[in-house]
Amino acid sequence: MDLLFISVLLTALLAGVSAAVTGVPNNVVVPFQQNYHILYGQDHVNVFGENNTVRLSLDQSSGSGFGSYKKFASGLFEMRIKLPPKDTSCIITSFYLTSFGDEFHHDELDFEFYGGNSLPYQLQTNVFANGVGGREQKVALWFDPTADFHDYQILWNQHHVMFSVDGIPIRVFKNNTVLGVDYPWRPMQVEATIWYADWACDVKPDLSKGPYVAEYQSFDIAGCPVDDFNPNGRELCYSPRFWWNTGNRWQLDPHQEQEFQNVRAKHISYDYCRDRARYPVVSPECQPNSSLL
Ligand SMILES: *[C@@H]1O[C@H](CO)[C@@H](O)[C@H](O)[C@H]1NC(C)=O
Ligand SMILES: *[C@@H]1O[C@H](CO)[C@@H](O)[C@H](O)[C@H]1NC(C)=O
Ligand SMILES: *[C@@H]1O[C@H](CO)[C@@H](O)[C@H](O)[C@H]1NC(C)=O
């Protein structure tokens, strides 16, 4: 690399640093268009309010989705979501981070909402690292997610990935590279979609009863942006200058730990770590000493 390139790079990264850090912590209302664009289903996306609320809809003709312009290598990613109030069996509402591109080695952190006729919504999380997923966990939500907006967050730093709902941790995926478990590191973009998965239910919904509408808010992004052309820049994303990388976010505090254990005791409806039929050999990150459990 020549010096000019390095200095341009540093300037850009430092600008990114200050921009991200001043956004602490995100109660600024940022218009949708500042960080996001429509991915597909243009005529099924409605941006309204002061550009601070987005409706994604799905009907027989199409689903829809939006994504961030930038990719990030660490951050605390948040979306406020209100789910479709109808029978959404087979219809999945989502909010996730994905590195996209190389399908065989991609990283991804997912929130996926599965509704159903009479069943309460199940919130599924999954972690892909280096193309390997299959780490589903499901939580039966303890409130009606269709009645109001709730906060769904993904904290991602060098130490762990924490999924939380209204500030309550529901899942932790530790950096267990020391046990030989891959950990997500590829720059990822933020995406949100509503889509039809006909494999996901036994009784198919009557899509003509649509549209099925999910609403999203909170378009500020507390993340460290990285350019695809400079994947090495991600090292700077581990800097303690970003508040989400600092010591008190390396692990759950005692209060969070207590809430997390409560969720695990009462609301987990599926956990790949306990599915011996599917995984006769338990993954290393599921061992008690890995601190996943
Ligand atoms: C919302 O975004 C549109 C498109 O960028 C813009 O034309 C409009 O002025 C914005 N409205 C508000 C209230 O910010
Ligand atoms: C995972 O942890 C190791 C130290 O155990 C660290 O060197 C590495 O950078 C971390 N990986 C990521 C992607 O943060
Ligand atoms: C965790 O426990 C497993 C077996 O229970 C063991 O093989 C592994 O070495 C332990 N890992 C650490 C980091 O202690």
Q: Where are the domains of the chain?
A: 24-286
Sign of the CA dihedral with 227 first, then 232, 236, and 238 last: positive
Residue whose structure tokens are 């989705």: 65
Q: How far is the CA of 85 from the centre of ligand 1 (A)?
A: 28
Q: What is each CA distance from 202 to 116, 125, 198, 210, in whole angstroms?
A: 10, 21, 8, 19
Q: What is the full DSSP assignment across 90-113?
A: TEEEEEEEE--S-GGG--EEEEEE
Q: pLDDT tens digit string along 81-113?
A: 999 998 899 999 999 999 987 678 999 999 999
Q: What is the reported pLDDT for 278?
A: 94
User: What's the predicted TM-score (pTM) here?
Assistant: 0.87
Is 257 one of the catalytic residues?
no
CB 95 within 8 A of CB 113: no
Q: What is the reported pLDDT for 231?
A: 64
Q: What is the reported pLDDT for 23?
A: 42
The one catalytic residue among 50, 103, 112, 191: 112
**Cα(135)–Cα(107) distance, rounded to whole angstroms?**
12
Which CATH architecture fits 24-286?
Sandwich (2.60)
CB 95 within 8 A of CB 82: no
Q: What is the reported pLDDT for 200?
A: 82
Q: How far is the CA of 2 from the centre of ligand 2 (A)?
A: 28
Q: How far is the CA of 158 from the centre of ligand 3 (A)?
A: 21
Which protein residue has the closest C-alpha to ligand 3 atom 9? 179
Which protein residue has the closest C-alpha to ligand 1 atom 3? 51
Which residues of the chain, if any, have pLDDT below 50?
A: 1-24, 26, 290-293
Is 108 one of the catalytic residues?
yes
Q: What is the reported pLDDT for 293?
A: 41
